[in-house]
Amino acid sequence: MMLKATNLIGFGQSPAESGADFVTDNLQMHLDAGAAASYDSGVDAQRWFDLTANSYDWFLGAAASSGSDDPTFNGSAGGDSSSEYFSFDGGDGFLKENDDSGSFLRKIGRTDQAFTLEVWIYPVNTTNNQVIFTNAGNAGNGIRWWLGHATDGRWALSTGTDTLFDANDTNLSTSVWQQWAIAGKMDGSTTGLHVVNGIQDGTWTTNNSAFTSGDSAHKGYIGRRSDGIVRFTNGTRLAIVRVYDVALTEAQLLQNYNAQKARFGL
């Protein structure tokens, strides 16, 4: 089912989102640098707010106070264009604010939990072993979505303890805005998808048999690992992060891409 983005919650949707038909069913987290309700330094300079009712909010850097590891906001609050994004200098990242034990974000990678991770990103290179998202950290239950880990130009998808494989089939582009997504379930039988700009670019299947219940090892990191290394390369830009508690289809991810591609000049 496709719903207008204004049905997400009752406050602060950005202008383009108010008419955008991206998928909102089963949407568990939605961070958008172009929406004033998600980030406005005049309201709270240290938090990237979740636009869903779940309030999965994130610290810039590793704490509620500013630090050298804070990503830098660019653009204007609520600008809703390609000029609104967070940039990284090679030492930055986001840390999820609350523990949220038992929440969906702590179940990503579990054998009984389907998921979709989606980002709008502007990478400057696809090497150097960069973490896009993890709730596993350096080890432990959960998932790690890497860039340039096993092979330059490709993603790698791993559980908390081992790298699975190169995720996508073709080398990723650089210095241009892109939608990236992974969707599936680590139960050993579900065929997961890797999607670039709404088009399937590879599949995956794995059984994360060590993670069948309970919480992931960490509450969540974006653009870094729990030990503070393997961060986004200097110059990387990130505008949107969405998480679903189902595995979206290629058609649904294409719908998401088409809903916001004009914002990013595509």
Question: Helices marked H in the chain — which ranges?
Answer: 250-260
Residue 171 DSSP label: P
pLDDT per residue as tens digits for the range 247-263: 999 999 999 999 999 99
Position 167 scores a pLDDT of: 67
Domain positions in the chain? 23-264
Position 232 scores a pLDDT of: 92
Position 123 scores a pLDDT of: 95
- Is pLDDT above 50 for 6? no
3 state DSSP class of 18 = helix
Position 169 scores a pLDDT of: 77
pLDDT per residue as tens digits for the range 12-23: 343 334 345 899
pLDDT per residue as tens digits for the range 138-162: 778 999 998 887 778 888 888 876 6
Position 161 scores a pLDDT of: 66
pLDDT per residue as tens digits for the range 29-77: 999 999 999 999 999 999 999 999 999 999 999 888 999 999 999 999 9
What does pTM read for this prediction?
Answer: 0.91
Q: Residue 7: what are its φ and ψ, rounded to 5°?
A: -85, -5
Of the two residues 167 and 117, the one the predictor is more confident about is: 117
CA 43 to chain centre: 23
Please give the sequence-ordered ranges of beta strands (E in DSSP) within the chain, or none if there are none.
Answer: 27-32, 47-48, 58-60, 72-74, 85-87, 94-96, 115-122, 130-134, 143-147, 155-159, 163-166, 178-184, 192-196, 199-204, 221-222, 237-244
Position 250 scores a pLDDT of: 97
CA atoms within 13 A on the CB side of 12: 20
CATH architecture of 23-264: Sandwich (2.60)
